[in-house]
Structure 1
Amino acid sequence: MRTVIALVTASGRHVHTVPEFTVDSPWWNDVEPVTAHLDRVLGVPTHVLRLVTATGTGMRGGTVTYEVEAAGSSTVDTIAAVDAVAAAPGDALRLPWARPGGPSALVEWAEGHVVCVGPAVQVKTWNLSCLFRLRTKAGTVWAKEVPSFLAPEGPVLELVRSVDPSLAPTVMASEGRRILLEDAPGTDCWSPSPAIVQDIVPRWVGMQNALAGPARLRRRGVEVPSFGLPDTLLHGDFHPGNWRSSGVVLDWGEAHWGHPALDAAKLVDFVDPSVAALVEEVWCRSWLAHHPDSDPSAALRHARPAMHLLAARVYQEFLDNIEESERIYHRGDPEEQLALAQSFTL
């Protein structure tokens, strides 16, 4: 649960502050229940632009204040507004969807590619993405926008699908940092079963082996001794919360090029210890099938501290490229990851 305060703006001006209310979901970037409440209270469609302040920790709980944009030409007349004052000045690092009209622009772009049968629903917004769910006669589709410091997902997904279409969602449209995706069936796999591990990990290794070779994306500068394995496409955030039970892998914005053991180390570090041994066994066996003279186990051993060094670099990049109020999502993360890296002995 979290407590929400909404600073409502229209045409770039603060027009109303909605009294505190609570929503069941504790996660700050989960804004669907926030806009659902505000739409009912204000009687007009709303979009969350950005987080202004938060008192919780770990991206959840506490009291969270959002800047919220009310849509519609008669908004100012519809809302029982206080005297209109200018909204907070724009931060130079403020992302496109955190600015007035930004979420609507993403929806308008998506609606240029599909025919919707209901209003678009803003599901998530924070410094790493803005995500909308749209209903069409053919089913659910997803519109997403990511910042310039993340990989554009369209080309990455097409690269993956060129060797294994079952591992990535279908791209309906892609333009710059925006992407429109078909729905990926199934449920999220935060606690993956052995069957899910044995399904996804070998196919993942097969895809990486097929794409191995010269870098087609940027490298992040954290190296692992090869131990006979090739550099390839990395997901960058390969934990099972980004897996669907249908075998599709989501959220490729942190994709880059490097040693495949870095992805495996992320997965081993994330899953329950009872599953970690199975992940390592399946991952090593899968790579040995492609490279019999390699030593995947040694590579993974070296990759586990290196993965935390990589995470520290990634989190620092986030902090360097997002506005002050949203740094609370990642503040302290680089230091935590560096400490974890130092805790390993090879």
Structure 2
Amino acid sequence: MRVTVVGVSEVPQEIEVPDGTQFLNVEPAIRALRDQGIGTAVLTCLSEEPLTYQVLPSDGFVSSDLAPWTKPEWYDEALPWIAEQVEATGPWTQVRSWGLSNVLRIPTIDGDVYFKAIAHSTTIKPTRPDPLPLLFAHEPLFLQKASEDHPGGVPAPLAIDSQRAWMLLPDLGTPLAAETDVDVWIDFVRRHARLQRSYVNHPERLLEMTCADRRLAVLDAELERVLGPTPATERLEPHERARLPIRAKQLREAITELSSIGLPETLLHGDLHPGNVAVRDGQVLAFDWTDASWSHPFLDLVTFIEEERSPLSADPRVLDAYLSEWEEYATPTDLRHALDLATQLGALHQTMTYAHLLDHVTGPSKASMLRGGVWWLRQLLKP
């Protein structure tokens, strides 16, 4: 597919990238430009269709995006900071960039290191005066504190800048989604459940780690607003919107029923899917903890189970292994029922996430968040 690039010369330039490349996965465009002898970085995506990027140096360009990394001068601060922390053995490459994060890969003598800058309430401004709060955790601080609590349980940053929400991470390996050994999947879900259980009696630590309070009671309180008139619900078909009031009543009943089972609310990853888990040298770690919160632990399974793309995520042996870690709180039958209820409420949790994100992104990133919110709403409405 053809991509238009503006900013490296007075004339827009076209490059070729693989078909289906998503706007936020910028590495194919960066590589295509590097093949032409142009070292650069994407500042912002101007358009998804046709895909158009604004890149460095872009002298005089003023970005309408909110993220600091969309400004050329941002690299004058970020690159020296990286150089202070690690010694590169080659040029850095931009991997991913959009309204929520910017990721660079730096080769070093000890392997690749990844730099990540995140959108957080301390680093970006909302798009309107009365925004919904951004529900993101401060991922660098979260990982620093969680890795101190549980060495080897989460990725440990090589360095962080808490004020600017930057961090450096080692290469964590290959995605769990590519793993064919069911024992590796079982090992991961057991470890994840144990990590969640370790914070059961420590809600104050979760809040100190910048996790958002997203317990079932909070979800209940937000239910009418999330399913009421919003940019996402307005994009549903009329017959779909007509079903929302009865669905809201059913979801409120599901919240009450799930609460009654007695499982404790604790650490939730919030975006736990097989592409956000990496395997390296026998170690399996979840990454991308921006959605970390204090909530019902089983809500993580709604994103983890990807039956079509990753069949092992729905393997009964994997799910049974996860549920077995919670048997001190409920019977196997009640745990299975809790999982069924959490599947519905996990979709509501995700709908709420996307609704809040809309006030903190612009352009293609905002359009992507809106599509995501509509998709989760339709999951909620499935029979």
TM range (shorter): 0.7 to 0.9
Contact 2:302-2:347 within 8 A present in 1 as well: no
Aligned to 2:40: 46
Q: Secondary structure at the match of 2:325?
A: helix
Query: Do structure 1's residue 128 and structure 2's residue 128 form an aligned pair?
Result: no
* Residue 311 (structure 1) aligned to one of 327, 334, 350: 350
Contact 2:94-2:105 within 8 A present in 1 as well: yes
Q: Secondary structure at the match of 2:326?
A: helix
Structure with larger RCO (C-alpha < 8 A, sep 6+): 2
Aligned to 1:286: 325
Query: Do structure 1's residue 254 and structure 2's residue 291 form an aligned pair?
Result: yes
Contact 1:141-1:182 within 8 A present in 2 as well: yes
Aligned to 2:128: none
**Number of aligned positions between the proteins:** 314
CA distance in 2, matches of 1:261, 1:313: 17
CA distance in 2, matches of 1:197, 1:40: 38
Cα deviations by residue, 1:277-317 (Å, 9 ceiling, x for unpaired): 333211111211x4355832222111111111111111122
Query: Do structure 1's residue 244 and structure 2's residue 278 form an aligned pair?
Result: yes
* Residue 301 (structure 1) aligned to one of 340, 343, 348: 340
Once the two structures are superposed, the pairs formed by residues 92-107 of structure 1 within 5 Å of their partners are 93-107=65-79
CA distance in 1, matches of 2:18, 2:4: 11
Contact 1:50-1:67 within 8 A present in 2 as well: yes
CA distance in 1, matches of 2:297, 2:70: 34
Cα deviations by residue, 1:106-154 (Å, 9 ceiling, x for unpaired): 2222212112222211111112211111122222211100101432212
Q: Which has the higher strand share?
A: 1
Cα deviations by residue, 1:61-112 (Å, 9 ceiling, x for unpaired): xx410011139xxxx8xxxxxxxxx53x432x52011122224532222212
What TM-score do the two structures reach when normalised by structure 2?
0.75
Identify unmatched segments of 5+ residues in structure 1.
56-62, 77-85
Q: Secondary structure at the match of 1:15?
A: coil
CA distance in 1, matches of 2:114, 2:366: 26
CA distance in 1, matches of 2:357, 2:102: 15
Shift of 1:182: 1.8
* Residue 265 (structure 2) aligned to one of 231, 237, 244: 231
| Distance of aligned partners of 1:32 and 1:319 in 2 relative to their CA distance in 1, 3 Å threshold | same
Query: Do structure 1's residue 143 and structure 2's residue 108 form an aligned pair?
Result: no
Once the two structures are superposed, the pairs formed by residues 1-346 of structure 1 within 5 Å of their partners are 2-8=1-7, 15-23=10-18, 26-41=21-36, 43-55=37-49, 63-70=50-57, 87=61, 89-91=62-64, 93-148=65-120, 149=134, 150-176=136-162, 177-184=165-172, 186-193=173-180, 194-213=182-201, 214=203, 215-216=206-207, 217-220=211-214, 221-222=218-219, 224=255, 225-226=258-259, 227-245=261-279, 246-269=283-306, 272=310, 275-276=313-314, 277-288=316-327, 290-291=328-329, 295-344=334-383
Q: Secondary structure at the match of 1:251?
A: coil
CA distance in 2, matches of 1:22, 1:334: 28
Q: Secondary structure at the match of 2:175?
A: coil
Q: Which amino acid aligns with 1:120?
A: W
Contact 1:117-1:135 within 8 A present in 2 as well: yes
Shift of 1:159: 3.6
Q: Which has the higher helix share?
A: 2
What TM-score do the two structures reach when normalised by structure 1?
0.82
Shift of 1:24: 5.9
CA distance in 1, matches of 2:171, 2:186: 23
Shift of 1:33: 2.1
| Distance of aligned partners of 1:273 and 1:180 in 2 relative to their CA distance in 1, 3 Å threshold | closer
Contact 1:4-1:21 within 8 A present in 2 as well: yes
Shift of 1:318: 2.1
What is the root-mean-square deviation of aligned Cα atoms in Å?
A: 2.4
